[in-house]
Each structure stands twice: as structure tokens, then as C-alpha cells.
A = this chain, B = another copy of it.
């Protein structure tokens, strides 16, 4: 079987090593040898180690090659990759991708085009890197009504939080470190402002709840305002701060957020560090399931991609037709209004008057369980409030100072 590869970056190289260079056990477990024959890359002089493969610079050379049955699309970005995935499906080629942006944005359209052309579209690596999740989630929904998903889904921010915890580093410093070792991009927006997580959460939520949820249906709060003092104060009170994607379905009402959350140090979530991800799903029959593993990295992500390739090769051999993914449930997008909890709040204050005004707002809008006044800032722990009240409170604090941070306490 001949395969085409679009994109020869880190993950693409990992996939090439597993398939063409015989790393791992992939070739041992298929009857007919499968190789990537053509690789799309901008640089035609790039060397490939397997003489059965060549670099091409024109995507159509791959899409119009009748011998290539499966296209592995690992480019990143949005418009160009979307167009190529669509074109490949329309030309009757199976597609495996890790592109969460494309899948979350065009989920319904692309899954339908795949079915119309009787080909597979697989995207296991788009969420949770190497963690086997998409098929498991689909399986569980065949018996369960899944009503809640939560997860640490972004390796970059989790690495930053781990560094801030272990090194006492501040956010900017930890971000720079992450950029220096290639864990964060030059423009870190997608990671630290929640878009990466919300896309992954949108994919999982759409599958779990059986109706399309998009990136923009999920309320996002940036992680940028977290400081070393917050990590420290949380730890002193028995919590670790994590950047959480969290959604639930209450009848037809969908609530979804990406936000910093305080987890008790006696919880599993609080001990997921660096590039590791965890995803929790809760069903009405099975209860809570959690899946943990590497959410990023060359080999782990390539493993998920090649797993999808293997699935398609087997399905082709068995002549099993792909099944439609159903998104027919009515889902009302309710933002984050449904989340209720106590909050941890830190506000930097210049003087006593600022302090009194800010504390006054907290007392009035949320109620206060505890207050710790320190040098230049105070820490408050609120009573349980809904997200709408907390949003209103944040606005009031924002009018006093921009230098503050708050996070929901997960109970």
C-alpha cells in the first residue's frame, strides 16, 4: 500500500520513521508492506532516508497519484490544510490528520464528505496526542449518555505551570523557557489564551454529546495573568493550579470553558505534569473514566497517527465501510453560566483604599470565606458563586486594577 504525507515537521518525521524506517512494530502487523512514497515539503532538496520515498513540492502530485490510497495530513494551520483534506476525501482517498483546528472547524462537513466518498477520515492525534481516546469515546457513547468531559489538554501551558511550580518561575520567564526548548511557539496565543484547548474540547464534546460544538461556543480565559505567588498560595492551601478544559451537557444545555482551576493535591488531575495530558469522561452507566499519557511529542503523536493508518489498512482489507458520525442532537450553547464554585482571587493593590474597594466588591458580589493581606496584594477565597457572578466581579476588579488573577476551585 502506498501512502502520501503532507507535512514533514516533527510529527511527520515521526510518522515516516514508524512507517518507512521500521521503528516500532507497524510493518510486522500488516500483511502487505506499506510505505510513504511521496512527502509534501517546501524544500525539494530535503533528504529522505528511504529510497522508496521522495519529496514533492506540489500537493497535487500526491492528490492525483492513483496509487496513493491514504493521505496523512500533518501540516498545521487552517485554510490550506482544510482544502487539501477535502480534496483528498473527494478524490476517494482515506485521510488521517492531527489538525485539531481543521477538524473542530469543519467537523460535520468533512465527516460527511468522507462518508459520501466511502473513505475514512481519522483524527485520533488531534486530541490528547498519543492517548487513545477518540475511538474509546465513540464506543462509550454507544451504551452511555456522556454528560461531562474535563481535561488537561495542552502540553505547553501544563509545562509552564509545572515549571512555575518546580522552579518558582513567573509566567513570562516560564513561557520564554518553553519557547527556548521548542515547547511553545513564538506566538503562544493558541496555547496560553485557550484556543488549542477549546478546539480539542470542541471535538470531544461534539462526539460525546452527539451535536456540533465549536471553538467559539466555549468560554476561554487566558492563563497569562497567573503569577508565581498564585502557584505558591494555592500549594500552601493544598491545591495545584491547572489549565482545564471542561464541558458538560445538562439535557440540551451545553456549558464549556477553558480556565485555570485549583485542584486539590489529593486529586489525580493535580499530579499531571509537563507534556502529559489527562482526559476524564463521565457516562451515566460507566461512571468516570480517565485517560492519561503524552499529549505531545514526536513519537507519541506519531504513534496515534500510525494507529489510524493501521486501522484504515485493516478496514480496507476487511472491506468494512466507514460509518457516519452522527451530530443530530439539539445542543443549546450556554457559555460558562452553568459552572458554580468557590474562587481563589489575588488582587495587587497600591494602597489601603484600593484594597478596601476590591475587597468590598468581592464581599458584595461573591461573599468571602477568607482573606490574606500581604505586601502589595491580597488573596481572597470566595463562597460558591455561579460563573456569571464571577464574570461580573472580575469586571469590577478590572476597573480597579489590571493586575489580578482568579481561578475556580474544583470540588
Contact = CB atoms under 8 A, between A and B. Distances in A.
Interface of A: 18, 23-26, 29, 130-132, 136, 139-145, 265-268, 271-272, 283-294, 297, 299-300, 302-303, 306-307, 310, 318, 320
A373 to B, nearest CB: 30
Contacts of A266: 265, 271
B285 A299 contact: yes
A144 B26 CA distance: 8
Contacts of A286: 130, 293-294, 299-300, 303
A18 B145 CA distance: 13
A287 B293 contact: yes
A292 B289 CA distance: 6
A290 B272 CA distance: 11
A303 to B, nearest CB: 5
A26 B145 CA distance: 10
A25 B143 contact: yes
B285 A24 contact: yes
A284 B144 contact: no
B306 A143 contact: yes
Copy count, this protein chain: 2
A294 B287 contact: yes
A158 to B, nearest CB: 14
Contacts of A144: 24-25, 303
30 contacts: A18-B285, A23-B285, A24-B143, A24-B144, A24-B285, A25-B143, A26-B142, A26-B143, A130-B286, A130-B287, A132-B136, A136-B136, A139-B307, A140-B303, A143-B306, A143-B307, A143-B310, A267-B271, A271-B271, A283-B303, A285-B303, A286-B294, A286-B299, A287-B297, A288-B293, A289-B291, A290-B290, A290-B292, A291-B292, A292-B292
A132 B289 contact: yes
Given A143-B24, A144-B25, A287 B268 contact: no
A299 B140 CA distance: 13
Nearest to A267: B271
A18 B320 CA distance: 27
Contacts of A290: 290-293
A140 B265 CA distance: 31
Nearest to A131: B289
Given A131-B289, A291-B289, A292-B289, A284 B24 contact: yes
Which 8 pairs from chain A and chain B are nearest by CB?
A290-B292, A289-B293, A29-B142, A286-B303, A285-B303, A24-B285, A130-B286, A24-B143
A269 to B, nearest CB: 9
Contact of A292 (B268, B303, B306): B268
Central interface residue in A285, A290, A291, A320, by most chain B CB within 10 Å = A285
Contacts of A302: 285
Nearest to A323: B314
Given A26-B143, A288-B292, A289-B292, 12 more contacts: A130-B289, A143-B306, A144-B303, A267-B271, A285-B299, A286-B303, A287-B294, A288-B294, A289-B293, A290-B292, A318-B320, A320-B320
Nearest to A271: B268
